[in-house]
């Protein structure tokens, strides 16, 4: 609810703005589209504005028969902060929604909305079987479904008998070298050999990287002329982690099976992105020159980026999508990996989806908690948290909490994070101070590799950027703790031993958005150690990286694609619109050995109850067209 009415809202859109349904950007774009297209019907303007609204929420279409109920659930959900629910309900009740059938007739007749079979990219929006899209996203959805179908319908020359023999040989060799494959991992390797596209899904510890190395080995054994293998991920940090993980697993493999791969890169770099407002160098006309493309962290692929990637896959290239469909989806609209995994039954055998479920690391409380959250089992998740040693209810008197990593892997502080201080979290403060002091020692000793490794030992994660639950506030709290062990961290731009993060790609230096480093020199100039090619540390002057920022706390979204030995999660209040099952699952699964959850029971319950509700038509297209 707002008293501020966006300029140009007009009498038709103004009530929707006051009720919190539409934002200024929605109204501005709707007015622009209608003015340029000669549309004077305000209900069509409302439809365009609602398309923008749904896009902001990650959905690529909306249904005129359902939109009022969908928006009502969202607006009147107590997850919307800082509102008076009675006033909000009153404003919403006063909204005049067009009758669905009459609305559809208006949209069908509109000069700014194309029909299902109209030429592409001629109008800004499209009506497809009663669903309203913005054209760019209708086109992307259409292209993704088409290209997936084409890849699935075009099997490679290797038959299943050869594939079974090759994978069996690889499996035996890996087992002899101490890297056995479970049946699901072997199935994934067979799928990769016998299909041009396959999907490998699973949570942390289920052996996705080992499986990738095994299936690449099988592909290289099956086809000596396979061609180059490209590794990619949506973010620079995820790409670096993929590179390091594949390198570590490869070291345990026999020499004749070690996959030969290019250095991992971002999907944008793989496609030769030239910058904002430009197209990709590789596209439908210029195909990627690789025999295999492996994309990790595929849950982060937006619908438009997935469309661009698929369009660049040539007739001789295999595509393997790897990821965890339970994690946070892309910032932009779409949930491509989750759509494919949820459609596995409809796809039958032409697009194989292998889901790894066996945890090859120690199971423990973290694995149990993540599984319960992913499955939406609120009772089981709360049971794991409630029985975790160190659980404390309420904010006062937390002084008795001392972390004992040998005896517990989860600590739950059942308290409102805004109502407590670092003094109430002595175990967390002790880890922060101890890690900071040790990083200073290693920086002074010039051991950059050990310093960088230690920097990933602990991370404090928040859902919000600002406010009492956000990165800014909790970073200040961490700086206050670190000021006792890192001289000058609270006064100067860079302190020796301070952690830092790159926030934008810098291709000319080989620096990626999300790369984390440590300040290892302050004189004569501040210098940061960052992971270089192959993971080896390298030093760069801080001044060469304009996007280098101090790193204390970070957002959960930014941490996606990374894992840390010890993670502290600061949950937002139950009324936060950012709180979701995917957010909580992603935060939990960043921890390898120990997890501290700081947040109320209500926040945990609200997160588990609220699963991703993005709307996508990919599964509908598959099921209707039966193109697979």
DSSP letter string over 577-628? TT--HHHHHHHHTTEEEEEEEES-HHHHHHHHH-------SHHHHHHHH---
- Look at residue 198 and tell me whether its pLDDT is greater than 80: yes
The size of the chain, in residues, is 628
Examine the pLDDT at 6 and tell me if it is beyond 80: no
Per-residue pLDDT tens over the stretch 562-590: 889 999 999 999 988 889 999 999 999 99
Contacts 24+ apart (CB under 8 A), 30-33: 33/112, 33/124, 33/125
Query: What gap in Å lies between CA 62 and CA 520, rounded to an integer?
Result: 52
Task: Write down the pLDDT at residue 390.
Answer: 56
Does 102 have pLDDT greater than 90? Answer: yes
Which has the higher per-residue pLDDT, 84 or 42?
42
Inform me whether the pLDDT recorded for 627 exceeds 70: no
Grouping H, G, I as helix, E, B as strand and the rest as coil, residue 109 is helix
pLDDT score for 405: 40
pLDDT higher at 149 or 102 = 102
pLDDT in tens, 350-370: 789 999 988 766 568 899 999
What is the rounded distance in angstroms from the CA atom of residue 328 to the CA atom of residue 330? 7
Q: What is the pLDDT of residue 402?
A: 38
Please report, in range form, the residues annotated as the binding site: 202-209
Higher pLDDT, 534 or 59: 59
pLDDT of residue 7: 67
Work out the angle between the directed axes of helices 85-93 and 67-76 (0-180°, nearest 10). Answer: 160
Residue 401: pLDDT over 80: no
Locus of tokens 């595509």: 319
| Whole-number pLDDT of residue 498 | 94
Residue 576 CB neighbours (<10 A): 20
90 pLDDT exceeds 90? no
Residue 347: its pLDDT value, please? 58
Residues of each annotated binding site for ATP: 202-209
Per-residue pLDDT, averaged over 63-83, amounts to: 74
Q: What does the pLDDT read at residue 356?
A: 92
Q: What percent of the chain clears pLDDT 90, i.e. is strictly above it? A: 56
Computed over every residue of the chain, the mean pLDDT equals 87
What strands, in cross-sheet order, belong to the sheet with 131-134? 61-62, 131-134, 125-128, 113-114
Question: CATH 3.40.50.300 region(s) of the chain?
Answer: 149-361+614-625, 377-609
Say whether pLDDT at 19 is over 60.
yes
Binned at pLDDT 50, 70 and 90, residue 399 comes out as very low
pLDDT for the residue numbered 225: 83
pLDDT winner (highest mean) among 4-8, 42-46, 66-70, 264-268: 42-46
pLDDT at 361: 66
CATH number of 149-361+614-625, picked from 3.40.50.2000, 1.25.40.20, 3.40.50.300, 3.40.50.1000: 3.40.50.300
* Residue 375 pLDDT greater than 80, yes or no: yes
Can you give the pTM of this predicted structure? 0.87
pLDDT band at 396 (very low <50, low <70, confident <90, very high): very low
Report the DSSP beta bridge partners of residue 128: 131
pLDDT of residue 243: 86
Q: What is the pLDDT of residue 383?
A: 92
* Lowest pLDDT segment from 85-99, 200-214, 432-446, 523-537: 85-99
CATH fold of 377-609: Rossmann fold (3.40.50)
Q: Which residue has the higher pLDDT, 112 or 515?
A: 112
CA-based nearest residue to 340, from 359, 324, 356, 357? 324
């Amino acid at each position: 609810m707002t008293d501020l009415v966006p300029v140009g809202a007009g009498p038709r859109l103004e009530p929707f703005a006051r009720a919190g349904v539409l934002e200024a950007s929605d109204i501005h774009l709707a007015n622009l589209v209608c003015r340029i297209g000669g549309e004077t019907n305000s209900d069509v303007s409302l439809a365009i504005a609602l398309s923008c609204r749904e896009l902001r929420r990650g959905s690529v279409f909306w249904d005129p028969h359902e939109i009022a109920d969908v928006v009502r659930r969202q607006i009147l959900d107590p997850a919307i902060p800082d509102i008076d629910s009675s006033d909000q309900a009153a404003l919403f009740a006063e909204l005049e929604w067009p009758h669905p059938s009459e609305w559809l007739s208006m949209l069908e007749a509109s000069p700014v909305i194309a029909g299902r079979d109209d030429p592409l990219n001629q109008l800004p929006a499209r009506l497809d079987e009663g669903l309203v899209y913005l054209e760019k996203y209708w086109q992307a959805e259409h292209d993704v479904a088409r290209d997936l179908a084409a890849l699935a319908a075009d099997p490679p020359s290797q038959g299943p008998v050869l594939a079974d023999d090759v994978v069996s040989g690889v499996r035996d060799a890996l087992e002899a070298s101490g890297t056995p494959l479970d049946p699901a991992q072997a199935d994934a390797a067979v799928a990769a050999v016998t299909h041009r596209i396959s999907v490998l899904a699973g949570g942390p510890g289920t052996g996705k990287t080992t499986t990738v190395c095994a299936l690449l080995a099988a592909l290289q054994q099956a086809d000596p002329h396979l061609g180059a293998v490209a590794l990619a991920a949506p973010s620079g940090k995820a790409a670096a982690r993929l590179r390091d993980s594949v390198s570590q697993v490869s070291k345990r493999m026999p020499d004749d099976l070690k996959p030969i791969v290019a250095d991992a890169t971002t999907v944008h770099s793989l496609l030769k992105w030239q910058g904002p407002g430009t197209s990709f160098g590789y596209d439908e006309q210029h195909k990627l020159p690789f025999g295999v493309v492996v994309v990790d962290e595929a849950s982060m692929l937006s619908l438009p980026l997935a469309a661009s990637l698929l369009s660049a896959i040539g007739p001789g290239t295999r595509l393997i999508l790897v990821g965890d469909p339970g994690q946070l989806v892309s910032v932009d609209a779409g949930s491509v990996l989750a759509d494919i995994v949820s459609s596995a039954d409809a796809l039958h055998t032409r697009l194989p989806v292998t889901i790894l479920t066996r945890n090859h690391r120690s199971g423990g409380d973290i694995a149990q908690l993540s599984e319960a959250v992913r499955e939406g089992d609120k009772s089981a998740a709360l049971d794991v948290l409630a029985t975790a040693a160190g659980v404390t209810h309420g904010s006062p008197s937390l002084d008795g909490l001392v972390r004992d990593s040998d005896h517990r892997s989860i600590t739950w502080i059942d308290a409102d994070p805004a109502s407590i201080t670092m003094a109430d979290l002595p175990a967390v403060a002790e880890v922060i101070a101890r890690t900071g002091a040790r990083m200073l020692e290693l920086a002074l000793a010039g051991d950059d590799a050990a310093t960088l490794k230690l920097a990933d030992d602990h991370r404090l994660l928040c859902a919000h950027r600002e406010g009492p639950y956000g990165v800014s506030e909790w970073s200040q709290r961490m700086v206050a703790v670190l000021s006792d062990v890192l001289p000058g961290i609270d006064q100067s731009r860079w302190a020796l031993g301070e952690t830092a993060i790159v926030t934008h790609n810098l291709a000319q230096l080989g620096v990626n958005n999300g790369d984390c480093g440590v300040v290892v020199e302050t004189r004569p100039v501040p210098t940061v150690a960052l992971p270089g090619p192959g993971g080896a540390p390298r030093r760069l002057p801080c001044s060469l990286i304009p996007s280098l920022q101090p790193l204390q706390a970070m957002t959960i979204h930014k941490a996606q694609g990374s894992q840390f030995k010890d993670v502290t999660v600061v949950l937002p209040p139950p009324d936060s619109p950012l709180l979701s099952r995917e957010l909580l699952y992603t935060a939990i699964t960043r921890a390898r050995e120990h997890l501290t959850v700081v947040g109320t029971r209500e926040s945990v319950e609200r997160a588990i109850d609220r699963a991703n509700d993005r709307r996508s038509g990919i599964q509908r297209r598959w099921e209707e067209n039966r193109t697979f």
